[in-house]
Amino acid sequence: MREELHKIAQSIEKMLLSNGWSIATAESCTGGGIAAALTAIPGSSACVKGGIVAYSEEIKMRLLGVSAETLQTFGVVSRQTVEEMARGAMKSMISDFSVATSGVAGPSGGTEETPVGTIWVAVSSPSQMVTHCIRSYNEGREENVQNAVLMALEMVRKVVENEENQAKK
């Protein structure tokens, strides 16, 4: 999987660099895995603005601007929370794109409504917000995190490609 992550990160950064764009990350359950994949590419400092590992609600609110109301109403593991995290990362790091994750990697912490393996990913761009919920049942913590990192990078690649295509029109 490491080679696959590297290839996706390279393709993302090639598109970002060719357009003069940048990206930021806001990660909870992936613990910086997306940022690590992106910054493993030589020259990534030209397009990766930074990343915030926002594991606690306090950090999600203080650094990423997630509202207490969102957390109370929808929960930490929700579409609304990762979208606010993504918007907050773009704003705080002044980037063109961002990716955010929040979920229950396991092996504990799940509920009936949000079982272990439920991970929300949001990718924000100048013109859109794309979200997806991953449900990896019985995979184990490491596998759940790696699946989420891979899915997040694939989502970023598609969103950046879309913006690139729109810019060419």
Residue 169 lies in a domain: no
Indicate whether 15 belongs to any domain.
yes
Domain that holds residue 137: 2-162
Domain of 91: which CATH number? 3.90.950.20
Instruction: Tell me the average pLDDT of the chain.
Output: 92
Answer whether residue 128 is part of any domain: yes
81-97 pLDDT per residue, tens = 999 999 999 999 999 99
Identify whether 112 is part of a domain. Answer: yes
Q: What is the pTM of this model?
A: 0.93
Q: Which residue has the higher pLDDT, 27 or 136?
A: 27
Quote the number of domains for the chain.
Answer: 1
Q: What digits encode the pLDDT tens for the residues 36-56?
A: 999 999 999 999 999 999 999
Token digits of residue 17: 């660099």
Given a contact cutoff of 8 angstroms between Cβ atoms, the answer to whether 155 and 121 are in contact is yes
CB atoms within 10 A of CB 114: 19
pLDDT confidence of 117, banded at 50, 70, 90?
confident
Does residue 18 lie within any of the structural domains? Answer: yes
pLDDT digits (tens, 9 = 90+) for 3-28: 898 999 999 999 999 999 999 999 99
In a domain, residue 168? The reply is no
